Amino acid sequence: MRLGVLDVGSNTVHLLVVDAHPGARPLPAHSHKAELRLAQLLDEDGAIDPEGVDKLISVVREAVQAAEDKGVEEMLPFATSAVREASNADDVLARVQAETGVELQVLSGAEEARLTFLAARRWFGWSAGKLLVLDIGGGSLEIAYGIDEAPDAAVSLPLGAGRLTAGWLPGDPPDPESIRALRRHVRAQIARTVGEFTRFGAPDHVVATSKTFRQLARIAGAARSTEGLYVQRELKRESLEAWVPQLTGMTTHQRSELPGVSEGRAGQLLAGALVAEGAMDLFGVETVEICPWALREGVILRRLDRMRPV
């Protein structure tokens, strides 16, 4: 069965086409992305502005056409924090459905965390034991912990790299006081949740997903993406702590020249690094392993599970 997962995120609208069957590993067949940065298209009332809605509808139309061209049998469309938290979310969803035929399912932050955890669990298997999963998106940070396929604890915090960059880090490079204020804010937010997880005991394996963590691991020396999914990639807190001071003094252009950092994500890299560093420090994590599967794969796996005969 050819499935299309349409992910309307805070940074990008991403269509992932996979060949998927119950009991089999989903095989990527096509990827279609458009950088939209919905989180930055909000007006002073927290609504996605009319131009942003028009752009979203145009991008969704393109994704629908790409899915049809690739023979997608079923579309799984969803939206995350940028749409979820917009003050005009209902109007945006209604317009998207009316003008494209796509009914976006708005995931809660906890659902994002649970589905990302499911993807990580399936990737690493039962032998990984108790998993702690960290995911930094454009609008939020998801944290989940557990020993089964459903986590024992799952939270979502408004600490996405795009959101924090837009709200806390003016200037290029940003001034030291802004960086310090953001660091305090990030750590205070994360610290409030630590107790929800530590009461379950120490994890056996700590996993990080998302583009932000992949880029941080790459600049710290991890293998290139061209070396394939199955190469083990890690990010050590010691390496991250050495890189953060360097990133604070770099312009967006200078960051874009680092290995593995795309031009479109370079501006958010510092905020993402501060979140990653804060999470690893406060949870007492020395090393995270990068998981190539995340939320989109979790959505696919949940759909496949529902196809399994009882």
Whole-number percent of the chain with pLDDT over 70: 99
Residue 10 predicted with pLDDT over 70: yes
Q: Considering only 9-13, 14-18, 305-309, which range has the smallest mean pLDDT?
A: 305-309
pLDDT category of residue 308 using cuts at 50, 70 and 90 = low
Among residues 199, 158, 164, 184, which one has the least CA distance to residue 283?
Answer: 199
Note the pLDDT tens digit of each residue in 175-218: 999 999 999 999 999 999 999 999 999 999 999 999 999 999 99
- 161 near 142, Cβ under 8 Å? no
Q: How many residues does the structure list for the chain?
A: 310
- 220 near 304, Cβ under 8 Å? no
Residue written as token pair 């998302």: 210
Q: Which domains does the chain have, with CATH numbers?
A: 2-106 (3.30.420.40), 109-295 (3.30.420.150)
Rounded-to-integer distance, Cα 229 and Cα 245, Å = 30
Rounded-to-integer distance, Cα 34 and Cα 63, Å = 9
* pTM attached to this predicted model: 0.95
Q: How many helices (H) and strands (E) does the chain have?
A: 12, 11
Burial (0-12, 13-18, 19+ Cβ within 10 Å), 119: buried
Residue 143 one-letter amino acid: I
Return the C-alpha torsion angle 103, 53, 155, 22, nearest 10. 30
Q: What is the mean pLDDT of the chain?
A: 95
| Buried/exposed 47-78: b ≥16 CB within 10 Å, e otherwise | bbeeebbebbbebbeebbebbeeeebeebbbb
Note the pLDDT tens digit of each residue in 16-36: 999 998 888 999 999 999 999
Note the pLDDT tens digit of each residue in 115-156: 999 999 999 999 999 999 999 999 999 999 999 999 999 999
Residue 33 sits at φ, ψ, to 5 deg, of -125, 150
Residue 232 one-letter amino acid: Q
Q: Which two tokens stand for residue 214?
A: 């992949």
Task: Measure CA of the first residue to CA of the last residue in the chain; give whole Å.
Answer: 19
